[in-house]
A and B are shown apart, each in its own frame.
Chain A
Amino acid sequence: GQQLNQSPQSMFIQEGEDVSMNCTSSSIFNTWLWYKQDPGEGPVLLIALYKAGELTSNGRLTAQFGITRKDSFLNISASIPSDVGIYFCAGQDGRGGGTYKYIFGTGTRLKVLA
């Protein structure tokens, strides 16, 4: 099935460092979403993007909707230990037919070293 290419798959960083991850697709999306998942929990929405070129922040998190509508980026500034988790991107497939499904990346597993 269709999935988004999300990179990196995993990363180890030192506390205080900035983090960048991205998602790319061969399809155009109308909406990009970024989620964080902690162990044993469901994904929690971090940022939602609705327009090409849009740049949105949520605290130390900043995400951008790519101009081509085929990619998105998430940056975390000054990482802290509680940033540990799996980050997922999701694109909303609005190609018509009245069905609006979300397609997910395979996730970026982030580990922060104190």
Chain B
Amino acid sequence: DAGITQSPRHKVTETGTPVTLRCHQTENHRYMYWYRQDPGHGLRLIHYSYGVKDTDKGEVSDGYSVSRSKTEDFLLTLESATSSQTSVYFCAISRFDMNTEAFFGQGTRLTVV
């Protein structure tokens, strides 16, 4: 198994509160990604990082921010959670820029009530 740990695994939060999800890797991989998975939509990219302090937006980045202060940690923050952000969130990592595989964490199930 790729050394990826997501925390928490499950969270219930109230609308309007900030939430931070953590992805920790032990593989020293350069690229890290946050995806959300919703029925009928598959996996959609929220944000990704190509190095410490280097991040960029994915296709569904509104309402989310990220930070990467260390190679091993990639944080996803919901600045003010909304019910539409109820989803399963996956972190992924990959080694190089091109022609490489991505490995996934086990996911965080977030419910916004």
* B partners with A: yes
Measured between beta carbons, the chain A residues less than 8 angstroms from B31 are 100
B41 touches A42 (CB 8 A): no
Please encode chain A, from 29 to 46, with 1 for each CB lying within 8 Å of some chain B CB and 0 for all others: 011010100001111110
Measured between beta carbons, the chain B residues less than 8 angstroms from A3 are 41-42, 44
Please encode chain B, from 21 to 33, with 1 for each CB lying within 8 Å of some chain A CB and 0 for all others: 0000000000101
Q: Given A90-B102, A98-B50, A99-B50, A104 and B42 touching (CB < 8 A)?
A: yes
Please encode chain B, from 6 to 46, with 1 for each CB lying within 8 Å of some chain A CB and 0 for all others: 00000000000000000000000001010100001111110
Please encode chain A, from 79 to 110, with 1 for each CB lying within 8 Å of some chain B CB and 0 for all others: 00000000010101010001111111111000
Measured between beta carbons, the chain A residues less than 8 angstroms from B42 are 3, 6, 88, 104-107
A42 touches B104 (CB 8 A): yes
Q: Select one of A33, A43, A88, A99 contacting B56, CB under 8 A.
A: A99
B90 at the binding interface (Cβ < 8 Å): yes
B100 at the binding interface (Cβ < 8 Å): yes
B58 touches A104 (CB 8 A): no
A1 to B106, CA, bound (A): 24
A99 to B59, CA, bound (A): 13
Contact residues of A between 48 and 103, Cβ < 8 Å to B: 48, 50, 88, 90, 92, 94, 98-103
**A interface residues, Cβ below 8 angstroms from B:** 1-3, 6, 30-31, 33, 35, 40-45, 48, 50, 88, 90, 92, 94, 98-107
Known: A3-B42, A99-B50, A101-B33; 4 extra A-B contacts, CB below 8 A, are A41-B107, A90-B102, A99-B48, A107-B42
